[in-house]
Amino acid sequence: MRSLRIIAGTALLALAAAGCGGGSSDNPLDSGATSDGGKTVTVGSAAFPESVLLAEIYAGALEKANVKVERKLSIGEREVYYKLLENGGIDLLPEYNGALLAYLDPEAALPATTEETNSAITAKLPAGLKILASAAAEDNDSLTVTAETAEKNNLKTVADLAPVAKDFTVGGPAPFQKRFEAKLKEAYGLTFKGWKPDRSGGGNIPTWLKKGEVQVGNVFTTTPAIVLDKLVVLEDPKGVFGRQNITPLVRADGISAEGQQALDAVSAKLTTEGLLEMMNKVATDKTDPAVVAKEWLSANG
């Protein structure tokens, strides 16, 4: 579902690009000496705001480790930036491990764990490219309900929907039913009353939930509406939606040991809740992604 996420995020591109378009690597935190012998690491991103934000976090972490950085942000879709990475046009970018696996092997099943997903990616990546440690943070598909629906029906996990699914309509992007109806029935025994497709890519789902037009929605887990509208994301203990952990994808010869340590430190502290909070600042408060990234890095040492 990452391609749909990119489409949905396009409306926010002007916001992201406004604060991030430069290729400057100047940073007041730099001491002048670089830890990698002067090599410049080029950090790229996809063309949607969350990817730009994550790239700014990576770039800032590298600069704090005295690595010289150049930014090439809002490059485009995966087909474009992946080729740039292969060809050496960029050295690093934030990826979503499940979506990357689906790109490398469209026929691959969705592994239930981060470790299995990353092992499958490593087996498919060409020589010269590698992934670093994944963050706990994910921007994944979910089944989400209002706080009122969750409390009334004691809903905490997707499995809890079993007794009430027959009375509930699900809203999601147009392909959602085709991709997940059979999987949800097999894993959790869910047969819903109906499915309502959102031709906009999913942007209407929070509003439909609030109005009661649907009782369950496919809401991406870093959508700011989760915070603003106090929505409840149901846990997916059986991993139907696979994993979409934020994961640095790098050129093996493009990142020094010091740079890798800095990126691993980011992954160790980046959570879904933290990413959701940052995206709320970017999308709702209209804060420059570079500023949000700097705040997060300062707060997390």
User: Do 122 and 165 lie in a common domain?
Assistant: no
Average pLDDT on 186-206 reads 93
CATH (domain of 76): 3.40.190.10
* Full residue range of the structural domain in which residue 192 is found: 144-233
Residue 29: per-residue pLDDT: 36
Q: Are residues 153 and 131 part of one domain?
A: no
| 148 and 11 together in one domain | no
Last residue in a domain, options 233, 253, 275? 233
Mean pLDDT estimate for the chain: 89
| 22-71 per-position pLDDT tens digit | 333 334 333 344 545 568 999 999 999 999 999 999 999 999 999 999 99
Q: Give the pLDDT mean for 74-83.
A: 92
Same domain, 105 and 128: yes
Question: Are residues 113 and 21 both part of a single domain?
Answer: yes
Share of the chain above pLDDT 70, in %: 87
| 226 & 254 share domain | no
Q: Are residues 33 and 60 in the same domain?
A: yes
Local confidence band at 237 (pLDDT 50, 70, 90 cut-offs): very high
Backbone angles phi, psi at 230, to 5 degrees: 55, 50
Report how many domains make up the chain. Answer: 2
pLDDT (tens digit per residue) in 166-179: 999 999 998 899 98
Q: Structure pTM?
A: 0.82
Overall size of the chain counted in residues: 301
Please report the pLDDT score of residue 36 as a whole number: 52
Question: pLDDT tens-digit profile of 125-160?
Answer: 999 999 999 999 999 999 999 999 999 999 999 999
- Are residues 134 and 119 part of one domain? yes
SS3 170: strand
Is 70 exceeded by the pLDDT of residue 185? Answer: yes
Using one digit for the tens of pLDDT, what is the confidence trace for 111-120?
989 999 999 9
Same domain, 132 and 247: yes
What is the rounded average pLDDT of the residues 65-90? 95
Residues 46 and 172 in one domain: no
What integer pLDDT is reported at residue 37 of this predicted model?
55
Same domain, 49 and 179: no
Q: How far is CA 42 from CA 24, 71, 72, 228, in A?
A: 10, 6, 7, 35
Report the DSSP beta bridge partners of residue 235.
Answer: 157
> Whole-angstrom Cα distance, residue 40 to residue 171?
45
Helix axes 272-283, 13-20, angle to 10 degrees: 90
Token pair in block for residue 76: 């485009």
pLDDT, position 202: 81
| Boundary residue ending a domain (176, 199, 233) | 233
Do 57 and 184 share a domain, yes or no?
no
Domain CATH code at residue 174: 3.40.190.120
CA distance 235 to 237: 6
User: Which domain-ending residue is among 206, 233, 260?
Assistant: 233
- Whole-Å CA distances, 277 to 116, 222, 272, 280: 28, 8, 9, 5
